[in-house]
Structures are given as C-alpha cells and as structure tokens.
Structure 1
C-alpha cells in the first residue's frame, strides 16, 4: 500500500458524498447509534469512575459537508441521558474535548474546517465513564480498517489510545453512509492505522474486526 492508494480512495469517496449530500439520513443514524449503545455491556466499554450522566459519556463529533449528519445523533444522545463530548482541534494536530448540549455556543475552528463548542476543554483522560467513541470516516470495511479524511488529528488521537492500556477497551465506531461500508480487505491501510470494532450507518450497526 502507498499514500496514492488512500488518496485515490478519498478522491472517489468525496465525489460520491457530494452527490449524496442532500439524501443523508440523520434521524436513522441517531436511532442506530442508540440501539448500538444498548448492546454494549460494561465489559465492552472503558468505564472508569462515575460520570455526571446516568448513561455515561459518549465522544462524538460535529458533522460537516457530506458526512452523515450528526446533529440529530448528538441531540438523541443528550436526550437519552448521555454526557456528549465533541473534539476541539489543538496545535500540533492534538485534540481536546468539550461538552456538547443542545443550544451550545459554537464557533469555527481556527485550525480545521469544523465547528467547535465554546467552553471548557478537557483531555480525553479527564473524561469520566466513556461508553464509546464515534469517529468520522470516509469509509470502513469488515476488517475494521477506517479510512479517515487524512487531516491527522484522529490518527494521533487513536495512536495515543493504543498506547494507553486503560483506554483501549473503549469501543470505537466509524460512522459512514451505507455505501461506504465495504467487505473485509477492501480498503488500503498500513501498520499505523488504528482499527475500529464497529461501523455505524443510517441503516444499521456492524461488528467488524481485523483478522
């Protein structure tokens, strides 16, 4: 595999998203995510301490462009009793996390083309009772290979998780459109790519894993 393989995939997938953007189903994704979270037992998540929410915390993100819309998802998570955290881009391609609530003040990041919550920023290891992490992706396959946008923020974040034994048990789910979920072995990857354990689409959730 080389970088051109990933670049070609990203170019094709982004073109497809531009065509499908108006047909994205945010409500379906919200229902699927809530159903998926209900299937996770205590042994599936890195639950540590007691969080402020009865459901624990969920790390998600603010969708942009042709991504599956996460606005209804964030609202559904908060309504269901989860404490919702979304990323904030920091210098050096690092990320912190800010609590999202309905009506939260937002601003455009100065470092990336995304919207961020205005408020207190916390490193991931300061978040309590994290039940799951929902990740943006351009595609995911049945082997657990996630193809990101290539910005580098999530690559570094996931690499940090893999080096932190207490966090590796938190379920990772890539969020994609249904046509962006591919059979195992379809996507280019290398040894630096962190695998995910689940794929979420507006049509359903899938357990995946490297073989």
Structure 2
C-alpha cells in the first residue's frame, strides 16, 4: 500500500483541490483584473523576449475560473503575431491550429465524452509538431514552484507537449510561459520525473524568469 504522506501524486491532488477552491472563492472582478494585468505584461514580455521578436505564439483559450486569455489572444493578434491554439486528440495529446478570432473556434465532443467541451478549439489541425514553429508557448497552470516547475490539472497533455519541445532538434526551442493568479506563484510543489520547468511565469503584474543558471531567478 502506498504511503500517501510520501506520495507526490496524492500531495499534488491536495494542492490542486485547495487552489481550485481558492479560484472559485475569488470574486470574478478580481480574477478579471489580475487576468487583464497579466496578459498585458505577458504580451510585452513576449515582444521583447530574449530570443527576438516573436512571429508565432502557441497559447490556449481559457475556460471557467482560469485566468482569462482573451486579452492575451487579442493583444498578440493586434500586433500581427500568428497564434496557435491546442486541439485535444483521442490519445490526450495536443495538436495545434491557427486562431483567427473567436469565430474561428468550435466546441468538439472530447474523447470519451458525450457533450461538447467547454474549451473552444481551432476547426483544423496542423498536427502535434506545429507547436515547434512557435517562438513562445503560453501554458495553463495551477501553480509554479520557486524553481519554475509547473503543476497543471493532472491530465498530462501539456507534460507531453513540454517533453516534445525539450526533445526538439531545433537550435532554438520555443520558450515556455505560465499564466497564473498571484497566490499561485512560488508554491512549494512535489516534483516528479515527468514534470518540466517553465522559462517564465506571469501572475498579475509579477514576472519570474528562470535562465540557464540552475536556481537563478530574475524577478520584476
């Protein structure tokens, strides 16, 4: 029998429950204000990123109590940046398609489901490797640790995407940014072998960047 006190998966489940409850308890107006601030900061960080001007960014369409990515998507497209959004495949991997505005998205019935997903997706897929053409990928997260490790909802889809990016033979890989609320940054998290760190986390107006030196953090 597994000792739950030493089980990272169980510990993550407890942390997820707490963070999701905090999101639900937060006033919608406060979530909207934090989201707007974070998206403005994130667009600016992408435009002045260390790898040069971005021409393609992979992001996601938010739902529920997640930080609202609407301002992010609009801000990127308003600056002439191509935007890719994910499509959930039958094996729970993510392929990608172009985003050209809210009307370009559809609501599919997810694998094993009977009702349309609450998450809108592009109508046409460019394949799972399309994300490798991006300069940045913005990923959802429930928390990011002081070392930059991300915790998602536990489905594993983005773990596969980040592993694909890490294994890419390209000389310059996409940089990874997580979008959060303020209390979800610098959370003490158990780390498992499949967990991958992000390069940057944005929570409200706060930015954390992790560079090539282990443990070195740049803060704004």
TM-score normalised by length of structure 1: 0.85
Q: Distance in 2 between matches of 1:99 and 1:81?
A: 13
1:161–1:167 Cα contact (<8 Å) kept: no
Q: Distance in 2 between matches of 1:11 and 1:150?
A: 11
Structural mapping, 1:45-194, within 5 Å: 55-111=54-110, 113-126=117-130, 129-166=133-170, 169-182=173-186, 186-194=188-196
Report SS of the residue matched to 1:134: strand
Q: Which residue of 1 aligns with 2:218?
A: none
Q: 158-167 vs 138-147, which deviates more?
A: 158-167
Q: Distance in 2 between matches of 1:205 and 1:100?
A: 26
Q: Distance in 2 between matches of 1:4 and 1:34?
A: 35
Deviation at 1:120, TM superposition (A): 2.1
Unaligned runs of 5+ in 2: 1-6, 112-116, 216-220
1:14 to 14, 20, 32: 20
1:132–1:172 Cα contact (<8 Å) kept: yes
1:55–1:80 Cα contact (<8 Å) kept: no
TM-score normalised by length of structure 2: 0.81
Report SS of the residue matched to 2:25: helix
Q: 195-204 vs 105-114, which deviates more?
A: 105-114
Runs of 4+ in structure 1 off by over 6 angstroms are none
Deviation at 1:124, TM superposition (A): 4.4
Deviation at 1:42, TM superposition (A): 2.8
Deviation at 1:100, TM superposition (A): 1.0
Unaligned runs of 5+ in 1: 44-53
2:86–2:122 Cα contact (<8 Å) kept: no
Cα RMSD of the aligned pairs, angstroms, is 2.2
2:143–2:152 Cα contact (<8 Å) kept: yes
Distance 1:63-1:103 versus aligned 2 partners, 3 A rule: closer
Listed one character per residue, the Cα deviations across residues 97-142 of structure 1 (whole Å, up to 9, x for unaligned) are: 1111224333323227442334221124345752200000000022
Q: Distance in 2 between matches of 1:168 and 1:134?
A: 16
Higher CA-based Rg: 2
1:162–1:168 Cα contact (<8 Å) kept: no
